[in-house]
Amino acid sequence: MSWTGSGRKTAVLCTAVVLLGTLALPAQAAPPISAPAAAGRVPASPEIPSPEEIAAAKSNASSTAAEVTRIDGLLADASAGQETSLAASLQANNAYGEALVELATRRDAAAVAAARAAAAGTEQAKARKQVGQLAGDLYRNGGLNPALGSFVSGSGRALEDAATLEAVTAGRARAFESAENAATAAQSLTEAAADANRAADEAAATAEDRKADADRAATAQRQVVADAKAQRSALVDQLASLRNTTAALESARVDALDRQRQQARLAALTAAAGPAPQPGTDSQPAPAAPGRDDSAAGQPAAPAPASAPAPAAAPAPVPAPASAPAPAPVPAPVPAPVPAPVPVPVPAPVPAPVPAPVPVPVPAPISGGSNQTAISVALGKTGSPFFYQYGGTGTRGFDCSGLVQNAFAAAGKYLPRTASQQFAQAPVHVPLSQARPGDLLVWGSAPGFYHVAIYLGGGRVVQALNPDAGITVTDVAAMSGMQLYGYAARY
Protein backbone atom coordinates (compact mmCIF):
# COMPACT_ATOMS: atom_id res chain seq x y z
CA MET A 1 0.00 0.00 0.00
CA SER A 2 1.13 3.59 -0.43
CA TRP A 3 1.33 6.00 2.49
CA THR A 4 0.90 9.75 2.47
CA GLY A 5 3.50 11.90 4.19
CA SER A 6 1.15 12.14 7.16
CA GLY A 7 0.75 8.38 7.41
CA ARG A 8 4.48 7.76 7.05
CA LYS A 9 5.28 10.23 9.83
CA THR A 10 2.70 8.63 12.09
CA ALA A 11 4.29 5.24 11.50
CA VAL A 12 7.77 6.57 12.28
CA LEU A 13 6.57 8.22 15.48
CA CYS A 14 4.89 4.98 16.53
CA THR A 15 8.12 3.12 15.87
CA ALA A 16 10.07 5.60 18.04
CA VAL A 17 7.57 5.26 20.89
CA VAL A 18 7.67 1.47 20.61
CA LEU A 19 11.49 1.52 20.80
CA LEU A 20 11.40 3.82 23.82
CA GLY A 21 9.01 1.46 25.60
CA THR A 22 10.55 -1.88 24.71
CA LEU A 23 14.06 -0.80 25.78
CA ALA A 24 12.82 -0.74 29.37
CA LEU A 25 11.52 -4.34 29.13
CA PRO A 26 13.50 -7.57 29.35
CA ALA A 27 14.49 -8.84 25.92
CA GLN A 28 12.40 -11.99 26.27
CA ALA A 29 9.33 -9.99 27.27
CA ALA A 30 9.35 -7.64 24.29
CA PRO A 31 6.36 -8.51 22.09
CA PRO A 32 6.80 -8.60 18.33
CA ILE A 33 5.43 -5.39 16.84
CA SER A 34 4.66 -4.62 13.24
CA ALA A 35 5.13 -0.92 12.60
CA PRO A 36 2.86 -0.81 9.54
CA ALA A 37 0.08 -2.60 11.41
CA ALA A 38 0.43 -0.26 14.37
CA ALA A 39 0.33 2.74 12.08
CA GLY A 40 -2.73 1.39 10.30
CA ARG A 41 -4.71 1.37 13.54
CA VAL A 42 -4.05 5.07 14.15
CA PRO A 43 -6.70 7.28 12.54
CA ALA A 44 -5.12 9.54 9.94
CA SER A 45 -5.19 13.24 10.75
CA PRO A 46 -4.25 16.02 8.35
CA GLU A 47 -0.99 17.59 9.49
CA ILE A 48 -0.92 20.19 6.72
CA PRO A 49 -4.09 22.20 5.99
CA SER A 50 -5.28 22.06 2.42
CA PRO A 51 -5.23 25.12 0.15
CA GLU A 52 -9.02 25.22 0.40
CA GLU A 53 -8.84 25.41 4.20
CA ILE A 54 -6.34 28.24 4.02
CA ALA A 55 -8.54 30.14 1.56
CA ALA A 56 -11.58 29.65 3.79
CA ALA A 57 -9.66 30.82 6.84
CA LYS A 58 -8.91 34.11 5.11
CA SER A 59 -12.60 34.97 4.92
CA ASN A 60 -12.62 36.75 8.27
CA ALA A 61 -10.28 37.69 11.10
CA SER A 62 -11.59 35.11 13.59
CA SER A 63 -11.20 32.25 11.08
CA THR A 64 -7.69 33.42 10.29
CA ALA A 65 -6.75 33.55 13.97
CA ALA A 66 -8.20 30.09 14.54
CA GLU A 67 -6.26 28.63 11.61
CA VAL A 68 -3.03 30.29 12.78
CA THR A 69 -3.56 28.78 16.23
CA ARG A 70 -4.18 25.40 14.67
CA ILE A 71 -1.00 25.55 12.60
CA ASP A 72 1.01 26.72 15.61
CA GLY A 73 -0.31 23.66 17.43
CA LEU A 74 0.74 21.36 14.58
CA LEU A 75 4.24 22.80 14.70
CA ALA A 76 4.38 22.36 18.49
CA ASP A 77 3.29 18.73 18.11
CA ALA A 78 5.99 18.18 15.49
CA SER A 79 8.59 19.63 17.85
CA ALA A 80 7.41 17.34 20.65
CA GLY A 81 7.56 14.39 18.24
CA GLN A 82 11.18 15.16 17.47
CA GLU A 83 12.01 15.25 21.18
CA THR A 84 10.28 11.90 21.69
CA SER A 85 12.18 10.28 18.84
CA LEU A 86 15.50 11.77 20.02
CA ALA A 87 14.88 10.48 23.55
CA ALA A 88 14.17 7.01 22.15
CA SER A 89 17.36 7.16 20.12
CA LEU A 90 19.48 8.29 23.09
CA GLN A 91 18.02 5.57 25.28
CA ALA A 92 18.82 2.96 22.63
CA ASN A 93 22.34 4.35 22.29
CA ASN A 94 22.82 4.13 26.05
CA ALA A 95 21.54 0.54 26.16
CA TYR A 96 24.01 -0.39 23.44
CA GLY A 97 26.84 1.44 25.20
CA GLU A 98 26.12 -0.33 28.48
CA ALA A 99 26.00 -3.65 26.63
CA LEU A 100 29.46 -2.92 25.20
CA VAL A 101 30.74 -2.10 28.70
CA GLU A 102 29.30 -5.38 29.98
CA LEU A 103 30.85 -7.24 27.04
CA ALA A 104 34.28 -5.78 27.80
CA THR A 105 33.89 -6.74 31.46
CA ARG A 106 32.89 -10.30 30.55
CA ARG A 107 35.75 -10.68 28.11
CA ASP A 108 38.24 -9.45 30.69
CA ALA A 109 36.81 -11.91 33.21
CA ALA A 110 37.06 -14.71 30.65
CA ALA A 111 40.70 -13.84 29.94
CA VAL A 112 41.54 -13.84 33.65
CA ALA A 113 39.72 -17.15 34.15
CA ALA A 114 41.57 -18.69 31.20
CA ALA A 115 44.92 -17.54 32.59
CA ARG A 116 44.11 -19.03 35.99
CA ALA A 117 43.00 -22.28 34.41
CA ALA A 118 46.23 -22.43 32.41
CA ALA A 119 48.31 -21.80 35.53
CA ALA A 120 46.40 -24.52 37.36
CA GLY A 121 47.03 -26.89 34.47
CA THR A 122 50.75 -26.18 34.70
CA GLU A 123 50.72 -26.92 38.42
CA GLN A 124 48.77 -30.09 37.81
CA ALA A 125 51.35 -31.22 35.25
CA LYS A 126 54.18 -30.60 37.75
CA ALA A 127 52.35 -32.56 40.44
CA ARG A 128 51.72 -35.42 38.05
CA LYS A 129 55.39 -35.49 37.09
CA GLN A 130 56.40 -35.60 40.74
CA VAL A 131 54.01 -38.47 41.47
CA GLY A 132 55.22 -40.27 38.36
CA GLN A 133 58.82 -40.02 39.52
CA LEU A 134 57.83 -41.33 42.94
CA ALA A 135 55.95 -44.24 41.38
CA GLY A 136 58.96 -45.02 39.15
CA ASP A 137 61.28 -45.11 42.14
CA LEU A 138 58.96 -47.45 43.97
CA TYR A 139 58.66 -49.70 40.94
CA ARG A 140 62.41 -49.88 40.32
CA ASN A 141 63.12 -50.65 43.96
CA GLY A 142 60.48 -53.28 44.47
CA GLY A 143 57.98 -50.95 46.02
CA LEU A 144 60.52 -49.34 48.34
CA ASN A 145 61.91 -45.86 48.07
CA PRO A 146 65.75 -45.83 47.80
CA ALA A 147 65.89 -43.50 50.78
CA LEU A 148 64.65 -46.37 52.92
CA GLY A 149 67.50 -48.71 51.94
CA SER A 150 69.62 -47.92 54.95
CA PHE A 151 66.63 -48.41 57.21
CA VAL A 152 65.94 -51.88 55.83
CA SER A 153 69.64 -52.93 55.79
CA GLY A 154 69.79 -52.31 59.50
CA SER A 155 72.69 -49.96 59.93
CA GLY A 156 72.03 -49.78 63.64
CA ARG A 157 71.23 -46.05 63.67
CA ALA A 158 67.68 -46.46 64.85
CA LEU A 159 66.85 -42.80 65.55
CA GLU A 160 68.25 -41.58 62.25
CA ASP A 161 66.52 -44.35 60.34
CA ALA A 162 63.22 -43.57 62.03
CA ALA A 163 63.54 -39.87 61.14
CA THR A 164 64.32 -40.80 57.54
CA LEU A 165 61.25 -43.03 57.37
CA GLU A 166 59.05 -40.29 58.77
CA ALA A 167 60.41 -37.67 56.34
CA VAL A 168 59.98 -39.93 53.32
CA THR A 169 56.46 -40.87 54.33
CA ALA A 170 55.48 -37.21 54.86
CA GLY A 171 57.05 -36.20 51.54
CA ARG A 172 55.18 -38.94 49.71
CA ALA A 173 51.91 -37.88 51.35
CA ARG A 174 52.53 -34.26 50.38
CA ALA A 175 53.25 -35.26 46.80
CA PHE A 176 50.00 -37.19 46.48
CA GLU A 177 48.02 -34.45 48.25
CA SER A 178 49.56 -31.79 46.05
CA ALA A 179 48.69 -33.78 42.95
CA GLU A 180 45.11 -34.22 44.12
CA ASN A 181 44.71 -30.51 44.98
CA ALA A 182 46.22 -29.48 41.66
CA ALA A 183 43.82 -31.72 39.77
CA THR A 184 40.83 -30.34 41.69
CA ALA A 185 41.94 -26.74 41.18
CA ALA A 186 42.58 -27.28 37.49
CA GLN A 187 39.15 -28.81 36.98
CA SER A 188 37.40 -26.05 38.95
CA LEU A 189 39.23 -23.23 37.18
CA THR A 190 38.70 -24.82 33.76
CA GLU A 191 34.96 -24.96 34.45
CA ALA A 192 35.05 -21.35 35.64
CA ALA A 193 36.82 -20.34 32.44
CA ALA A 194 34.17 -22.13 30.38
CA ASP A 195 31.42 -20.30 32.32
CA ALA A 196 33.18 -16.98 31.78
CA ASN A 197 33.45 -17.65 28.05
CA ARG A 198 29.76 -18.50 27.87
CA ALA A 199 28.92 -15.27 29.71
CA ALA A 200 31.10 -13.33 27.28
CA ASP A 201 29.32 -14.96 24.33
CA GLU A 202 25.94 -14.06 25.81
CA ALA A 203 27.11 -10.47 26.37
CA ALA A 204 28.26 -10.31 22.75
CA ALA A 205 24.85 -11.51 21.55
CA THR A 206 23.11 -8.94 23.76
CA ALA A 207 25.36 -6.20 22.41
CA GLU A 208 24.44 -7.16 18.85
CA ASP A 209 20.74 -6.95 19.73
CA ARG A 210 21.23 -3.55 21.37
CA LYS A 211 23.14 -2.32 18.32
CA ALA A 212 20.21 -3.30 16.10
CA ASP A 213 17.87 -1.42 18.45
CA ALA A 214 20.11 1.65 18.31
CA ASP A 215 20.26 1.54 14.52
CA ARG A 216 16.47 1.28 14.26
CA ALA A 217 15.95 4.13 16.71
CA ALA A 218 18.45 6.31 14.85
CA THR A 219 16.73 5.60 11.53
CA ALA A 220 13.33 6.43 13.01
CA GLN A 221 14.66 9.62 14.54
CA ARG A 222 16.18 10.76 11.25
CA GLN A 223 12.87 10.14 9.50
CA VAL A 224 10.98 12.16 12.10
CA VAL A 225 13.39 15.07 11.67
CA ALA A 226 13.10 14.94 7.88
CA ASP A 227 9.30 14.83 7.99
CA ALA A 228 9.14 17.64 10.54
CA LYS A 229 11.41 19.79 8.38
CA ALA A 230 9.23 19.31 5.31
CA GLN A 231 6.08 19.91 7.33
CA ARG A 232 7.49 23.05 8.91
CA SER A 233 8.39 24.52 5.55
CA ALA A 234 4.85 24.04 4.25
CA LEU A 235 3.20 25.30 7.44
CA VAL A 236 5.40 28.39 7.66
CA ASP A 237 4.43 29.31 4.11
CA GLN A 238 0.77 28.95 5.07
CA LEU A 239 1.27 31.13 8.14
CA ALA A 240 2.89 33.81 5.99
CA SER A 241 -0.11 33.68 3.67
CA LEU A 242 -2.61 33.88 6.53
CA ARG A 243 -0.86 36.69 8.37
CA ASN A 244 0.30 38.60 5.29
CA THR A 245 3.96 38.39 6.33
CA THR A 246 7.00 36.57 5.01
CA ALA A 247 8.18 33.02 5.55
CA ALA A 248 11.34 34.36 7.25
CA LEU A 249 9.30 36.37 9.77
CA GLU A 250 6.98 33.45 10.47
CA SER A 251 9.93 31.08 10.89
CA ALA A 252 11.44 33.45 13.45
CA ARG A 253 8.09 33.71 15.25
CA VAL A 254 7.74 29.91 15.37
CA ASP A 255 11.28 29.60 16.73
CA ALA A 256 10.46 32.15 19.42
CA LEU A 257 7.33 30.19 20.40
CA ASP A 258 9.42 27.02 20.64
CA ARG A 259 11.94 28.73 22.90
CA GLN A 260 9.16 30.10 25.11
CA ARG A 261 7.67 26.63 25.55
CA GLN A 262 11.07 25.15 26.27
CA GLN A 263 11.99 27.84 28.81
CA ALA A 264 8.61 27.53 30.54
CA ARG A 265 9.03 23.76 30.75
CA LEU A 266 12.56 24.08 32.16
CA ALA A 267 11.41 26.70 34.69
CA ALA A 268 8.60 24.40 35.86
CA LEU A 269 11.00 21.48 36.18
CA THR A 270 13.51 23.57 38.11
CA ALA A 271 10.85 24.94 40.45
CA ALA A 272 9.49 21.44 41.14
CA ALA A 273 12.88 20.11 42.30
CA GLY A 274 13.10 20.17 46.10
CA PRO A 275 16.22 19.78 48.24
CA ALA A 276 18.63 17.35 46.64
CA PRO A 277 18.84 13.88 48.24
CA GLN A 278 22.33 13.44 49.67
CA PRO A 279 24.14 10.23 50.55
CA GLY A 280 23.86 11.16 54.24
CA THR A 281 27.11 12.95 55.09
CA ASP A 282 26.93 16.14 57.12
CA SER A 283 29.41 17.96 54.89
CA GLN A 284 27.31 17.84 51.72
CA PRO A 285 24.35 20.13 52.45
CA ALA A 286 26.73 22.99 53.34
CA PRO A 287 28.07 23.63 49.82
CA ALA A 288 24.53 23.77 48.42
CA ALA A 289 23.71 27.03 50.23
CA PRO A 290 26.66 28.23 52.23
CA GLY A 291 25.09 31.46 53.44
CA ARG A 292 21.90 29.85 54.64
CA ASP A 293 23.72 26.89 56.12
CA ASP A 294 25.96 29.10 58.21
CA SER A 295 23.05 31.04 59.65
CA ALA A 296 21.14 27.86 60.22
CA ALA A 297 24.11 26.40 62.02
CA GLY A 298 24.25 29.47 64.22
CA GLN A 299 20.62 29.10 65.24
CA PRO A 300 20.95 25.54 66.51
CA ALA A 301 24.13 26.56 68.32
CA ALA A 302 22.36 29.37 70.21
CA PRO A 303 19.78 27.11 71.91
CA ALA A 304 22.61 24.86 73.08
CA PRO A 305 24.18 27.50 75.34
CA ALA A 306 20.73 28.73 76.36
CA SER A 307 19.99 25.30 77.76
CA ALA A 308 23.34 25.32 79.61
CA PRO A 309 22.50 28.30 81.84
CA ALA A 310 19.09 26.76 82.64
CA PRO A 311 20.61 23.84 84.54
CA ALA A 312 23.11 26.27 86.11
CA ALA A 313 20.22 28.37 87.46
CA ALA A 314 18.55 25.29 88.95
CA PRO A 315 21.47 24.37 91.24
CA ALA A 316 21.89 28.04 92.15
CA PRO A 317 18.97 28.15 94.67
CA VAL A 318 20.25 25.00 96.42
CA PRO A 319 23.58 26.43 97.60
CA ALA A 320 22.04 29.90 98.12
CA PRO A 321 22.09 29.77 101.95
CA ALA A 322 25.71 28.56 101.99
CA SER A 323 27.28 30.87 99.43
CA ALA A 324 24.84 33.22 97.78
CA PRO A 325 27.56 35.36 96.15
CA ALA A 326 29.22 32.26 94.64
CA PRO A 327 26.38 31.48 92.21
CA ALA A 328 26.13 35.16 91.30
CA PRO A 329 29.60 35.22 89.69
CA VAL A 330 28.96 31.79 88.15
CA PRO A 331 26.33 33.02 85.65
CA ALA A 332 28.64 35.90 84.73
CA PRO A 333 31.42 33.55 83.51
CA VAL A 334 28.83 31.25 81.92
CA PRO A 335 27.82 33.75 79.21
CA ALA A 336 31.52 34.53 78.70
CA PRO A 337 32.38 30.94 77.61
CA VAL A 338 29.17 30.76 75.61
CA PRO A 339 30.54 32.79 72.67
CA ALA A 340 33.85 30.90 72.93
CA PRO A 341 32.40 27.39 72.27
CA VAL A 342 30.21 28.68 69.44
CA PRO A 343 33.08 29.76 67.17
CA VAL A 344 35.35 26.94 68.36
CA PRO A 345 33.43 24.08 66.61
CA VAL A 346 33.12 26.15 63.45
CA PRO A 347 36.86 26.75 62.87
CA ALA A 348 37.69 23.25 64.13
CA PRO A 349 36.19 21.43 61.13
CA VAL A 350 37.50 24.07 58.74
CA PRO A 351 41.20 23.55 59.49
CA ALA A 352 40.65 19.80 59.80
CA PRO A 353 40.12 19.31 56.05
CA VAL A 354 42.85 21.86 55.24
CA PRO A 355 45.77 19.83 56.64
CA ALA A 356 44.60 16.76 54.70
CA PRO A 357 45.09 18.39 51.28
CA VAL A 358 48.26 20.21 52.44
CA PRO A 359 50.53 17.14 51.98
CA VAL A 360 49.20 16.83 48.44
CA PRO A 361 49.01 20.35 46.98
CA VAL A 362 47.49 19.12 43.71
CA PRO A 363 43.97 18.31 45.00
CA ALA A 364 43.62 21.74 46.61
CA PRO A 365 43.77 23.69 43.34
CA ILE A 366 41.87 20.92 41.54
CA SER A 367 38.88 21.36 43.82
CA GLY A 368 38.46 24.89 42.56
CA GLY A 369 39.74 24.64 39.02
CA SER A 370 39.55 21.00 37.93
CA ASN A 371 35.97 21.24 36.73
CA GLN A 372 37.01 24.13 34.51
CA THR A 373 39.75 21.88 33.20
CA ALA A 374 37.16 19.18 32.48
CA ILE A 375 35.00 21.74 30.68
CA SER A 376 37.93 22.91 28.57
CA VAL A 377 38.84 19.33 27.63
CA ALA A 378 35.25 18.51 26.66
CA LEU A 379 34.87 21.72 24.64
CA GLY A 380 38.13 20.92 22.89
CA LYS A 381 36.52 17.74 21.55
CA THR A 382 33.61 19.43 19.78
CA GLY A 383 33.70 19.06 16.03
CA SER A 384 36.18 17.25 13.79
CA PRO A 385 38.29 15.18 14.23
CA PHE A 386 36.30 14.04 17.27
CA PHE A 387 33.02 12.18 16.88
CA TYR A 388 30.31 10.22 18.66
CA GLN A 389 31.07 6.51 18.97
CA TYR A 390 28.92 3.83 20.59
CA GLY A 391 30.68 2.83 23.81
CA GLY A 392 33.59 5.15 22.98
CA THR A 393 35.99 6.47 25.63
CA GLY A 394 38.65 8.05 23.36
CA THR A 395 40.96 8.96 21.90
CA ARG A 396 38.68 10.55 19.31
CA GLY A 397 35.40 8.65 19.57
CA PHE A 398 33.16 9.07 22.64
CA ASP A 399 29.70 8.30 23.87
CA CYS A 400 28.06 10.62 26.42
CA SER A 401 29.51 9.08 29.58
CA GLY A 402 32.81 8.31 27.86
CA LEU A 403 33.28 12.03 27.13
CA VAL A 404 32.49 12.92 30.76
CA GLN A 405 34.88 10.27 32.09
CA ASN A 406 37.67 11.39 29.75
CA ALA A 407 37.24 15.10 30.51
CA PHE A 408 37.27 14.63 34.28
CA ALA A 409 40.20 12.19 34.13
CA ALA A 410 42.21 14.97 32.47
CA ALA A 411 41.37 17.07 35.53
CA GLY A 412 42.56 14.36 37.94
CA LYS A 413 39.08 13.08 38.84
CA TYR A 414 38.30 9.50 37.97
CA LEU A 415 34.59 8.86 37.42
CA PRO A 416 32.84 5.54 36.83
CA ARG A 417 31.90 4.47 33.33
CA THR A 418 28.13 4.85 32.79
CA ALA A 419 25.75 7.80 33.13
CA SER A 420 23.84 6.17 36.01
CA GLN A 421 27.05 5.37 37.90
CA GLN A 422 28.48 8.83 37.34
CA PHE A 423 25.41 10.46 38.84
CA ALA A 424 24.97 7.98 41.70
CA GLN A 425 28.60 8.10 42.89
CA ALA A 426 28.94 11.89 42.90
CA PRO A 427 29.65 13.16 46.44
CA VAL A 428 27.19 16.06 46.12
CA HIS A 429 23.82 16.49 44.42
CA VAL A 430 22.07 19.83 44.09
CA PRO A 431 18.80 21.03 42.53
CA LEU A 432 19.04 22.34 38.98
CA SER A 433 18.52 25.86 40.30
CA GLN A 434 21.89 25.57 42.07
CA ALA A 435 23.80 23.95 39.19
CA ARG A 436 27.14 25.52 38.38
CA PRO A 437 29.71 24.96 35.61
CA GLY A 438 31.23 21.49 35.77
CA ASP A 439 28.16 19.82 37.29
CA LEU A 440 26.67 16.81 35.53
CA LEU A 441 23.10 16.86 34.18
CA VAL A 442 21.35 13.60 33.42
CA TRP A 443 18.27 12.46 31.54
CA GLY A 444 15.99 9.58 32.48
CA SER A 445 14.50 8.45 35.77
CA ALA A 446 16.52 7.48 38.83
CA PRO A 447 18.43 5.31 39.13
CA GLY A 448 18.56 4.39 35.43
CA PHE A 449 19.70 7.47 33.53
CA TYR A 450 20.29 7.17 29.81
CA HIS A 451 22.23 10.37 29.04
CA VAL A 452 24.71 12.66 30.78
CA ALA A 453 26.22 16.04 29.87
CA ILE A 454 28.57 18.61 31.45
CA TYR A 455 26.90 21.88 32.46
CA LEU A 456 28.67 24.96 31.11
CA GLY A 457 26.56 27.62 32.83
CA GLY A 458 24.23 30.00 31.07
CA GLY A 459 21.73 27.23 30.38
CA ARG A 460 24.06 25.23 28.10
CA VAL A 461 25.76 21.83 28.19
CA VAL A 462 28.56 20.16 26.26
CA GLN A 463 27.78 16.56 25.36
CA ALA A 464 28.38 13.65 23.05
CA LEU A 465 24.83 13.48 21.70
CA ASN A 466 24.54 10.95 18.87
CA PRO A 467 26.25 9.90 15.61
CA ASP A 468 24.50 12.69 13.66
CA ALA A 469 25.11 15.63 16.02
CA GLY A 470 28.45 14.39 17.38
CA ILE A 471 30.03 16.25 20.30
CA THR A 472 28.27 19.57 20.57
CA VAL A 473 27.07 22.42 22.79
CA THR A 474 23.30 22.49 23.36
CA ASP A 475 20.75 24.59 25.24
CA VAL A 476 19.42 22.68 28.25
CA ALA A 477 15.93 24.04 27.61
CA ALA A 478 15.84 22.40 24.19
CA MET A 479 16.22 19.00 25.91
CA SER A 480 14.05 19.71 28.95
CA GLY A 481 11.19 17.62 27.56
CA MET A 482 13.29 14.47 27.34
CA GLN A 483 13.15 13.42 31.02
CA LEU A 484 15.73 15.94 32.20
CA TYR A 485 16.34 15.08 35.87
CA GLY A 486 15.70 17.84 38.39
CA TYR A 487 19.07 17.49 40.13
CA ALA A 488 22.72 17.87 39.15
CA ALA A 489 25.73 15.83 40.30
CA ARG A 490 28.87 17.58 41.51
CA TYR A 491 32.43 16.20 41.77
Cβ 387 vs Cβ 470: under 8 Å: yes
- Do residues 189 and 120 lie in contact, with contact meaning Cβ atoms separated by under 8 Å? yes
pTM of the model: 0.66
Most confident of 185-189, 283-287, 402-406: 402-406
Q: Contacts by 111-116 with C-beta closer than 8 Å and gap 24+?
A: 112/196, 113/189, 113/192, 113/193, 113/195, 113/196, 113/197, 114/193, 114/196, 114/197, 116/189, 116/192, 116/193
Q: Could you report the per-residue pLDDT of 310-368, keeping only the tens digit for each?
A: 333 333 343 333 333 444 443 444 444 434 343 333 333 333 333 333 333 323 334 44
Predicted confidence at residue 154, as pLDDT, reads: 52
Q: Residue 61: pLDDT above 70?
A: yes
- Shortest CA distance to 381 belongs to which of 423, 410, 349? 410
Assign 186 a pLDDT band (cuts: 50, 70, 90): confident
**Closest of 130, 126, 163 to residue 147, by C-alpha:** 163
Give the amino acid at 388: Y
pLDDT at 157: 61
Task: Render pLDDT for 141-158 as a digit per residue (tens, 0 to 9).
Answer: 665 555 555 544 555 565
211-270: pLDDT as tens digits: 999 999 999 999 999 999 999 999 999 999 999 999 999 999 999 999 999 999 999 999
pLDDT digits (tens, 9 = 90+) for 424-442: 999 999 999 999 999 999 9
Confidence of residue 476 (pLDDT cuts 50, 70, 90): very high
- Looking at residue 316, what is its pLDDT? 39
Whether pLDDT at 306 is above 50: no
